Amino acid sequence: MSKQFDLSGRVAIVTGGNGGIGLGMAEGLARAGAAVVVAGRKAAKSAAAVKALEALGAKAAAVEADVTKQDACKALIAAALARFGRVDILINNAGTNIRKQPQEYTLEEWNSVLETNLTSAFLCSQAAYPAMLKSGGGKIINIGSMLSIFGAAFAGPYGASKGGIVQLTKSLACAWAKDNIQVNSVLPGWIDTELTQAARREVAGLHERVLARTPAGRWGDPADFSGIAVFLASGASDFVTGTAITVDGGYSSLA
Ligand code: NDP
C-alpha cells in the first residue's frame, strides 16, 4: 500500500459499521491499517463485524450506541478514546428510511428519519471535534444518497435528511479546515444491503428500474465503498474538503 493511503496508527469510528455500506468502508480502513470502532444498536451484529475486521488483521471494537441521542454520541467518542487513545476518522453512516407518500407521515416518523440520518451526523461530528483537534486533524465522511440530489415520491424525510447531509458537510468543512479537519460526503447509488432489500420488497419494479438506469449494469456492493473510504480518510485527500463524491456506477450521470 502506498504511504499516501496508509492508515497505520489511525483510529476510525464508523456509525452503522456493523453491516452494509458501513462495514464495507470499515473493511477498507482496516486493510489500510486503522483500528476501527463500529457503532450500532444490535450487539450481536456488531460483534460479528468486529470478528470480520479482526480477521483482516486490524484492531477493532464494538460500541452499542443509538446515535440519535446526544449522550450516546458523546459516550461513543469517549469509548473510542478509552480503548484506542485517539480519534482520527469519523464515518457518519448510520441511516434509515420510512417509505410513504408525503401526506402519510406522522411527525414522529419525520423526526425519526431526520434524527437518524442527519442530526446524528451533526452530533457525532460535534462530539468528535475536540478529539480530532487533539490529534492535530481529522477526517469526517458523511453518507448521503442519490436522494441528496434527486427526488422520489416515497422519500420526503429521507431526501430532506440526505440533502441536509451535503450542506452540513460544506459548513463543517468551512469551519474546521483551519483545524486540518477535512469533511466530505459520499453519495452512494443503489447498493445491495438490508436497507435496499426492504426497499425492493416495498417498491414494485425498483430492482428492474435500478438495473436499467445504472450505466454499470449492476447494483453496488458494500465492498465498492472500501476504496473511497480509504481515500477520504487518508493523507491522499488532504486538500479535498466540502465535496460530495458519487459512488453510483454512473447513475447520476445518465440523463
Ligand atoms: P443498512 O441498513 O445495512 O445499515 C444501516 C446501519 O445504520 C445499520 O448498521 C444500523 O445498525 C445503523 N443504524 C441505524 N439507526 C441507528 C441508530 N439510531 N444508531 C446507531 N446505528 C444505527 O443500510 P445501508 O448499508 O444501505 O446504509 C448505510 C448508509 O448508506 C445509510 O446512511 C443509508 O441511508 C445510505 N445509503 C444507502 C444506499 C443503498 O442503496 N443501500 C443508497 C444511498 C445511501 P443497527 O441496526 O445495529 O443499529
Is 252 among the domain residues? no
**Is 190 inside any structural domain?**
yes
Nearest to 71 by CA among 12, 139, 125, 124: 124
Task: Give the range of the structural domain holding residue 127, as residue numbers without chain letter.
Answer: 3-247
Exposure letters 219-228 (e unless 16+ CB within 10 A, then b): bbebebbbeb
CA dihedral 150, 109, 90, 216 (to 10 degrees): -30
The answer to whether residue 253 sits within a structural domain is no
> How many CB atoms sit inside 10 A of residue 172's CB?
24
To the query of whether residue 158 is one of the catalytic residues in this protein, the response is yes
Q: For a pLDDT cut of 90, what percent of the chain falls above it?
A: 95
In a domain, 41, yes or no: yes
> Is 202 part of any domain?
yes
Residue 83: give its domain's CATH number.
3.40.50.720
- 80 within a domain of the structure (yes/no): yes
What residue ranges line ligand 1, CB within 6 angstroms? Answer: 15-16, 18-22, 39-42, 45, 65-68, 93-96, 116-117, 143, 145, 188, 190-191, 193-196
Q: Whose CA is nearest to atom 32 of ligand 1?
A: 95
Q: Is 230 helix (H, G, I), strand (E, B) or coil?
A: helix
Residue 71 inside a domain? The answer is yes
Mind listing the pLDDT tens digit for each residue in 66-124?
Answer: 999 999 999 999 999 999 999 999 999 999 999 999 999 999 999 999 999 999 999 99
pLDDT digits (tens, 9 = 90+) for 8-32: 999 999 999 999 999 999 999 999 9
15 CA closest ligand 1 atom index: 21
CA distance 209 to 20: 21
Task: Identify the band that residue 1 occupies on the pLDDT scale cut at 50, 70 and 90.
Answer: low
Probe ligand 1: pick from 37, 41, 187, max atoms within 8 Å of CB?
41
Instruction: Point out the ligand 1 atom lying closest to the alpha carbon of residue 21.
Output: 25
In a domain, 255, yes or no: no
CA-to-CA distance for 80 and 89, rounded, in angstroms?
Answer: 11
Q: How many domains does the structure of the chain reveal?
A: 1
Give the nearest ligand 1 atom to 45 CA: 47
Grid cell locating 208: 428492474
Mean pLDDT within 163-177:
99
pTM of the model: 0.98
Q: How far apart are CA 111 and CA 189, in angstroms?
A: 24
